[in-house]
A and B are shown apart, each in its own frame.
Chain A
Amino acid sequence: MEPAVDTQTAAPDRSLIKKLAPARKQLLACIQCGTCSGSCPNADAMDVSPRYLWRLLLTDNAEEIFKTRTFALCSTCYTCTLRCPRGLQITDAMSLLKQVAASENLPLYKRSIRFYQSFMESVRRHGRVREMEFMTLYFMSMKNPVIPLKFTPLGMRLMAKRKVSVEIPSKGTQKLDAMFRKAREIEEQS
């Protein structure tokens, strides 16, 4: 059997490993107890458990990490962070992985990347999320006509309950542009 981890050949993509360093740093003191995996409400939906994911991270197995959807499924409930006996910022590490995936624009995470981007785009325009606009942006960025159809029943139900209303996308006030620009600058610097 081919060794999954080989200290000489593992993860040739050093740049990816470098990008993972902040997340890895969060997890260094991990003792592999598995409290995070046991307490995660989404663990059943994940392809590998958080403990497995952290083990990959700590053994510099970057490629394997970006074959799993585990971190993309993190709903930021913070249960793992609350319970970790080492006091590790596990949820933050999950977010860091999401950021790496987004900045690398990895195809496996296209949906969630676009979803977040559309969300933030709507926030940028209006200072809050406009649900209909947000979903429109998302459907447009996905360039797949099947997706809007999938969401139609949900949209109808929400509209019937007046949870969302029809809004035409607009450029908004653009008052937050400066802030978003600055944030991007900071991100690029780090």
Chain B
Amino acid sequence: MDEQTLTQESGTRTIAAADAAGVNKDDVIAVLGNFTDPDKLTHAAQEIHAAGFVDFDIYTPYPVHGLDKAMGLPKTKLPLFSIGGAAFGLANAIFLQWWTATIQYPLNIGGKPYFSPWFGMPVMFELTVLLCALTTVFVMFGLMCGLPKWWHPLQDDEGFRKAVDDTHVVSIEAADARFTVESATALLGRLGADDVRVVTA
């Protein structure tokens, strides 16, 4: 969901597609349709993407293999952040052990060198892993998924609430440049979605 739809303040209503002729076009948030068969769902994702829609999403109770590709989503950039976090952790570990032993408080222990990478390995490894893991999770949830977010424009829709249980919900959003209620409902109907409906503000 993009930011624009999240500024809605009132509750939403769900209207079956057949009864949606009279709704105010400006109030429409999205057109939704349910799927249960993952094959039909994947096909629908490909078709909606092929029809040129960008602002559409599919809510699923578990990750469906290949659905992101079918939707035409770009590959996630998360690994780049993870590598950055790992490098940061490693640099910290080296600096911490080197600086405390040679600059801040040099301590002669049996004539051994103040610093050597070999005794520093375990701490280097652990801090690399620690910072990489924390970076990965915080970037994934916070930056990439935009969570935490305590409100969602579709949250009152009964089908949408089942998307964390046993239903796949396809949502074509009104924010999309190509969106009209008619084209979206017709497309979802043609692709075999159940219970095609319009969510309005």
Q: Do A and B bind each other?
A: no
- A residues near B, CB below 8 A? none
